[in-house]
Amino acid sequence: MINRIDECTTLRNGVKMPWFGLGVWQVQDEDTLIQAVHAAVRAGYRSLDTARAYVNEDMVGKALATSPVPRDQIFLTTKLWNGDQGYDSGLQEYDQSCRLLVTDVIDLYLIRWPVQVIDKYVDSWKALVRLYEEKRVRAIGVCNFKKHHIERLVAETGVAPMVNQVECHPLFPQNEMLAYCRENGIQMEAYSPLLNGRLSTIAPVLEPIARKHGKTAAQVILRWQLDREVVVIPKSVHENRIIENGSIFDFALDADDKAAIAALENGTHFLPDPDEMSFHGKPGTMPKKDKK
C-alpha cells in the first residue's frame, strides 16, 4: 500500500517517479499557475506534469524557479506536441521545452498522441531514445498509446516506453492496458482521474464510500487509483483542493468499496480514441471531445 505523498514507483531503468503529482492542463493564467504549483509543493507534492500543448511551460519554469523546494527535488514531465512530431523536430522541440522550463534535464518526456494520419510517432520515438541515450532526459514514454502502437515502437526501435499516460477513471479504468503495462515493465499513469470534472455523475456510488471513510468522493477515487498502482496527476488551482487531493494516505478501501467502484465501468471516455485522433494543429487547441 502506498502510504506517503512523496512515495515513488521505480521505472524500468531505476528512475524513481512519484505516484502522486499535480497536472496543469488548461491553466493559462501565470499567477494562478505559480500559486498552484507552490501550494502543491508546500503540501508535499513532488511531481509536476505539463506539456507543450498546454502553452504554459514558461509559466511552469517560473513556478519552479521560485519554488520553496529546489528543482532537483521535483519530478518534471512534459510532452511533445502532435504537430511537432518527427525525428529532427522532436529533438528541437525538446530543447525548446527545456528553455521554457528553465531546466537542462527533463525527468520524463512523452509523445502525447500517436496521430496515425501523419505517422511520425516512430520517428519521434527515435528522437526520444536518442535524448535518453545522451542522458538529456531521465526517462521516456508515451501518452494515449494502445497496445499495437507500443508494439510497433518496440518492433522498429527495440525500446519500449517506460510510462504510458492514458485517460483512466472509474468509467474507463483501462484494465487491459494496465495488465499489458504490468506484463511489459511499463508504468501506467492516469490523466483525468476524476472524470474531467464529471465526478458528480457517479456520486451515488461514491458518496456512501466517502462517508464511511470520512473522505470526499475525489479522495476515494484517487486512493482507488493508487491501490491499482496507477500514477495519478489530478489537476486543481485551488489550494484547499490541492491539499484535499493529497490527503489520501490515511485510509484504506476495503473489498466492497473496490467492487462498487469496479462496477462503474461502462467504456465512457472524454477524449478521442487514440486510433481516431488526427489533430495536429496549433498547441493550446483541441478537437471536440469524443464522448463514446
- Cell numbers 498546454 correspond to 54
In a domain, residue 276? The reply is no
Q: Give the DSSP H or E segment for 60.
A: helix 57-65
Q: What end-to-end distance do the CA atoms of the chain give, in Å?
A: 33
Instruction: At 213, list the grid cell.
Output: 471513510
In a domain, residue 169? The reply is yes
Distance CA 80, CA 51 (A): 7
Please tell me the pTM assigned to this model: 0.94
Render each residue's pLDDT in the chain as its tens digit; 292 residues: 899 999 999 999 999 999 999 999 888 899 999 999 999 999 999 999 999 989 899 999 999 999 999 999 999 999 998 888 999 999 999 999 999 999 999 999 999 999 888 999 999 999 999 999 999 999 999 999 999 999 999 999 999 999 999 999 999 999 999 999 999 999 999 999 999 889 999 999 999 999 999 999 999 999 999 999 999 999 999 999 999 999 999 999 999 999 999 999 999 999 999 998 886 655 555 544 433 2
Q: Is the dihedral of CA 147, 150, 156, 160 positive or negative?
A: negative
Nearest to 261 by CA among 156, 159, 168, 138: 168
Looking at the structure of the chain, the number of domains it has is 1
With vertex at residue 266, the alpha carbon angle to CA 260 and CA 272, rounded to the nearest 5 degrees, is 135
Residue 132 among the catalytic residues: no
In a domain, residue 150? The reply is yes
In a domain, residue 73? The reply is yes
In a domain, residue 247? The reply is no
The values of phi and psi at residue 60, to 5°, are -60, -40
- Amino acid, res. 29: D
In a domain, residue 189? The reply is yes
The CATH number given to whatever domain includes residue 155 is 3.20.20.100
- Cell numbers 484535499 correspond to 244
In a domain, residue 283? The reply is no
Distances (CA, A) of 153 to 21, 93, 121, 160, 273: 27, 20, 8, 7, 19
- Identify the domain containing residue 173 by its residue range: 17-196+226-236
**Identified catalytic residue from 45, 54, 94, 191:** 54
